[in-house]
Amino acid sequence: MTAWTEDRARDAVFRFDHLSPENRRNLLDVLDQRFPAEKVGDQLLRRKKALDNLALNKNKLSHGTQLYPECLAADALAASAKNLAGYAIVLTAGGEGERLYHSLVARGMDHQRLVNFTKVTFPLPDFYSDFGSLHVNLTLIAAISREYGIEIPVIVTTGPDESITAQIIPSIISDYNAFGLKSLKIIRQDERIHFTQEEKIAWTLINGHPRVITNPDETGGPLMKLKQRLPAETDTAIEWLLHQGCDKVIVLQATALYAPELIPAIAAAGKKFDGLGVGIVRELFTPDDPYGTFVLAQQNNRKRLLIAEKEVRNSATMSLKDPTGSRYLPFNTGFYVFDIRLIQNNDLPDYATPPKEIVPDLPKSPKIGFAATDMISFAQNPAVLSVSPDSYGVIKNADDLSQLSLLGKKLGLDKICKTIHGD
């Protein structure tokens, strides 16, 4: 294994010489312990594959016919125990929330309140018992299980072994006795180094100490992790779910809050399809619209449901309307339903997000990993569930915390928490 030196780091690390001599030594120690040069080289190669795959996705649209996908309305679906039977829920909670952390620091947040910070566990202001979004979501699933008399197995995915989320989330779940859920498993995602556009290793300072910026391997990483047999585990997570009688999974973001009726509606919609995306239909589709777009692409008599990011879509994508001619293609919320066998039988390609701001003063660059969006392209019978934009909300930065707290109260989630956990 090749040891890191200052000369090697100057070539590989973004603004290495901006660090103090002490922090340069500290960063070299971190690199030697967790990110040997061989690992960095492998991840750079996967980054290249991901960017190549982005170009391939453009070709799928430009050389095929684009069609409006089958789209169901959430408010037309009935919730029932029968519809929830056979489902598990995967809550993705691996991101540490650097954007949120730095926006709170910029607002003058007391550093003591940011000790052991994670985005999904940070308290929503003026909400029940200082709950974060993860607390609320696990409580909501417990309440749905109680209401419909059915036990829903839950998998919570955290960041990798050394991450804050991998340390904090299991502790919180234990403290709350799994929030009343009888079947709950915690899985640690793999990580990817975050590189700049120039392929330099990105870093940030946390409490004055340098830390290599990493990301969980994106939304599809948890799906791939379900198939891995972990040390000291007899079964893979998928095998565990099959033993629980599950044949489908709902994939949700733990950084969001959901209307109580939304999860049963997603379950009802997903019953007939091996892959279901949850989206919001557009009344307008402007060139600067940042969201990924559900579109059915037909090529060589094969139809695939794709999610076209801003960098991939074209004018045909933006002009396509539903059969009534009144609504444009739905944009992606990041929530899905998949048949377990679909996950079991398909491996995801490497994926690059659009360039994103991760921390202030760091130029935007893509995050690399796997995309849950790519899993839906393997589905033989896919569809999209159209939901109201008022039925959920997501945390991204400090401005969202108060808004999400208000939304949670409007949706009655604080009352649900009180009912389950007491005043």
Give the single-character DSSP code of 302. E
Q: Which of 243-247, 291-295, 355-359, 370-374 has the lowest mean pLDDT?
A: 355-359
- CA-wise closest residue to 332 among 399, 377, 272, 397: 377
Confidence of residue 381 (pLDDT cuts 50, 70, 90): very high
Convert 342-411 into a string of H (helix), E (strand) and C (coil). Answer: HHHHCCCCCEECCCECCCCCCCCECCEECCHHHHHHHCCCEEEEECCHHHEEECCCHHHHHHHHHHHHHC
In this model, does residue 99 exceed pLDDT 90? no
What sign for the dihedral angle of Cα 28, 30, 32, 35?
negative
| Cα–Cα separations (whole angstroms), residue 121 to 130, 204, 256 | 9, 21, 12
What are 315's two structure tokens? Answer: 């004018």
Residue the block writes with tokens 């209307």: 259
CB atoms within 10 A of CB 15: 13
Q: Are 358 and 287 a contacting pair, CB within 8 Å?
A: no
Give the single-character DSSP code of 64. S
Rg (CA), the chain: 22
Task: Compute the average pLDDT of residues 177-190.
Answer: 95
Highest mean pLDDT of the ranges 139-143, 188-192, 361-365: 139-143
Q: Are 64 and 362 a contacting pair, CB within 8 Å?
A: no
Confidence of residue 360 (pLDDT cuts 50, 70, 90): confident
- CA-wise closest residue to 153 among 248, 58, 233, 224: 248
Question: What is the pLDDT, as a whole number, of residue 68?
Answer: 97
In this model, does residue 163 exceed pLDDT 90? no
Global pTM value: 0.90
What is the spatial distance between Cα 137 and Cα 145, in angstroms, rounded to a whole number? 12
Q: Which residues of 258-292 are buried (b: 16+ CB within 10 A; e: fewer)?
A: bbbebbbbbbbbbbebbbbbbbbbbeebeeeeebb
What is the spatial distance between Cα 140 and Cα 311, in angstroms, rounded to a whole number? 36
Question: What is the pLDDT, as a whole number, of residue 25?
Answer: 95
Question: What is the pLDDT, as a whole number, of residue 42?
Answer: 96
In this model, does residue 64 exceed pLDDT 90? no
What sign for the dihedral angle of Cα 366, 369, 373, 377?
positive
Mean pLDDT (the chain) is 93
Question: What is the pLDDT, as a whole number, of residue 236?
Answer: 94
SS3 content of the chain, % helix, strand, coil (to 5): 40, 25, 35
Instruction: Encode pLDDT of 197-222 as tens digits.
Output: 999 999 998 888 999 998 888 889 99
Question: What is the pLDDT, as a whole number, of residue 397?
Answer: 87
Task: Compute the average pLDDT of residues 165-185.
Answer: 96
Q: Within a 13 Å sphere around the CA of 174, how many CA atoms are in the beta-carbon half?
A: 7
Residue with more model confidence, 190 or 102 = 190
Instruction: Encode pLDDT of 119-130 as tens digits.
Output: 999 999 999 999
Percentage of the chain lying above the pLDDT 90 cut = 75
- CA-wise closest residue to 249 among 335, 311, 333: 335
What is the spatial distance between Cα 79 and Cα 334, in angstroms, rounded to a whole number? 21
